[in-house]
């Protein structure tokens, strides 16, 4: 098996997905998920562009989850995946840093390449499975491997029609 760029649920073969989800199920990580339905965003929010939508999703996610997993004096490490062009990556880092500053916890932002972090790959798999369910698609891995340890599933802007 060749995986030069790591695992990525969307691109992996069904055989690789079976193996990955078996490991995810065995490790039983905590899943907290926030999905924003872009089509349901106010026009003024949509007009601000994709990175603003990402920033809003990150803020809504972190303001709740950070309080659940860390106390006011704890240090929380937020490991997020790098993506896109250098300009897009810089914009994402800035947006995420602003979110970290708004959440009342001491958050250390770490931006890593997805293939370098098992946790990012597990998150990718969990999000992929959850998004399939949100889109009304079948995903036999969601219930036993993701939902079983899911602590939150937040859709503040509803779901697509």
Q: What is the total count of domains within the chain?
A: 1
Is the distance from CB of 35 to CB of 155 less than 8 angstroms? yes
**Residue 6 CB partners (closer than 8 Å, separation 6+):** 114, 115, 116, 121
Residue 68 within any structural domain of the chain: yes
Quote the pLDDT of residue 160: 74
Residue 116 within any structural domain of the chain: yes
Global pTM reads 0.86
Strand, helix or coil at 111?
A: strand
Residue 160 within any structural domain of the chain: no
Identify the domain containing residue 41 by its residue range. 14-154
Q: Is the dihedral of CA 63, 112, 7, 55 positive or negative?
A: positive
- List per-block mean pLDDT (blocks of 10 residues) for the chain, which spans 161 residues: 67 91 97 91 90 90 91 90 82 88 86 84 94 94 97 88 65
Quote the pLDDT of residue 80: 84
């Amino acid at each position: 098996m060749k995986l030069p760029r790591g695992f990525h649920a969307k691109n992996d073969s069904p055989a690789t997905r079976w193996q990955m989800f078996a490991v995810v199920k065995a490790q039983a990580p905590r899943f907290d998920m926030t999905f924003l339905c872009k089509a349901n965003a106010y026009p003024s929010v949509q007009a601000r562009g994709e990175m603003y939508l990402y920033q809003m999703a990150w803020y809504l996610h972190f303001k709740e989850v950070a309080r659940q997993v860390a106390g006011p004096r704890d240090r929380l490490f937020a490991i997020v995946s790098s993506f896109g062009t250098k300009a897009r990556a810089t914009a994402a880092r800035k947006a995420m840093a602003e979110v970290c500053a708004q959440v009342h916890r001491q958050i250390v932002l770490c931006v890593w390449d997805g293939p370098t972090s098992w946790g990012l790959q597990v998150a990718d798999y969990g999000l992929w499975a959850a998004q399939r369910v949100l889109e009304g698609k079948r995903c036999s891995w969601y219930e036993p491997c993701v939902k079983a340890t899911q602590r939150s599933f937040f859709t503040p802007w509803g779901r697509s029609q």
